[in-house]
Amino acid sequence: MAGSVDGQMTGARRRLVELLRDKGIHDISVLRAFDLTARHDFMPTGVRHRAYEDTSIPIGSGQTISQPYVHARYLETLALTGHEKVLEVGTGSGYQTVLLSHLVAQVFTIERIAALFNTAREAIRHAGATNVSMLLGDGTVGWREYAPYDAILVSAGGPSIPQALVEQLAEGGRLLVPVGSKDEQTLMLVTKRGGTVVSREIAPVRFVPLVGTQGWDRE
Q: Which residues are catalytic?
A: 66
Task: Determine the Cα–Cα distance for residues 129 and 217; give it in Å rounded to an integer.
Answer: 33
Task: Determine the Cα–Cα distance for residues 128 and 15; give it in Å rounded to an integer.
Answer: 23
Task: Determine the Cα–Cα distance for residues 103 and 76; give it in Å rounded to an integer.
Answer: 10
Strands 106-111, 85-89: parallel, antiparallel or unpaired by DSSP?
parallel
- H-type helices in the chain, by residue range? 2-22, 28-36, 68-78, 95-101, 114-127, 163-167
CA-wise closest residue to 199 among 164, 174, 180: 174
CA-wise closest residue to 42 among 101, 108, 106: 101
